[in-house]
């Protein structure tokens, strides 16, 4: 397929930004400073890096995009994503890239609007895990179809069996799907 023109490249960057801004795992990492004091800048940089990755590589497969995003999360936010959301994020980005290549710009814009609407309605909220627990222990729940995600930084006092995040021996934060 043909490479993206400058206008479709800009639309693709906007689409990638919309996908990542509504991805609860990345937003939890940014909100809790998993990437240090420049977490928001790193999230913005990820958008540019994904666009560049698609620009530099021909016929990317979804698993390659998953690996690339996973590496970015590991390297920039010390976070291993194991909640099942990574394939969904990679698929959305791949589909939007293909739509940009095929000049289906109205469909891409519609998806961006849907994602922006999802973001503005509050995609993630804090809710108490247990009435007996202190109020700073909260679970992050996604509205809609997304998996529940619990932040390790917020769940430090919880028993291990009640959390979906665990801190590995090397200090990494592992995000897993609740069962």
The ranges assigned to domains in the chain are 6-120, 124-176
Q: Which two tokens stand for residue 92?
A: 């959305």
pLDDT in tens, 92-135: 999 999 999 999 999 999 999 999 888 777 544 433 334 443 33
pTM > 0.95: yes or no: no
CA distance 50 to 123: 23
Q: pLDDT by residue (tens digit) across 58-98?
A: 889 999 999 999 999 999 999 999 899 999 999 999 999 99
- 178 by Cβ neighbours in 10 Å (0-12 / 13-18 / 19+) ranks as middle
């Amino acid at each position: 397929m043909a490479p993206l023109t400058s206008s479709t490249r800009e639309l693709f960057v906007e689409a990638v930004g919309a996908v990542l801004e509504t991805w609860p795992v990345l937003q939890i990492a940014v909100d809790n400073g998993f990437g240090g004091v420049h977490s928001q800048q790193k999230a913005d940089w990820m958008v540019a890096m994904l666009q560049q990755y698609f620009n530099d590589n021909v016929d990317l497969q979804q698993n390659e995009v998953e690996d690339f995003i996973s590496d970015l999360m590991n390297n920039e936010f010390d976070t291993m994503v194991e909640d099942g959301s990574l394939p969904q994020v990679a698929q959305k980005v791949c589909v939007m890239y293909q739509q940009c290549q095929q000049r289906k710009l109205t469909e891409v814009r519609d998806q961006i609007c849907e994602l922006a609407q999802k973001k503005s309605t509050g995609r993630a909220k804090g809710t108490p895990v247990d009435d007996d627990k202190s109020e700073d222990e909260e679970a992050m729940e996604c509205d809609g179809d997304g998996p529940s995600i619990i932040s390790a930084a917020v769940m430090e006092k919880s028993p291990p069996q009640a959390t979906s995040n665990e801190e590995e021996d090397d200090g990494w934060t592992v995000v897993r799907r609740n069962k």
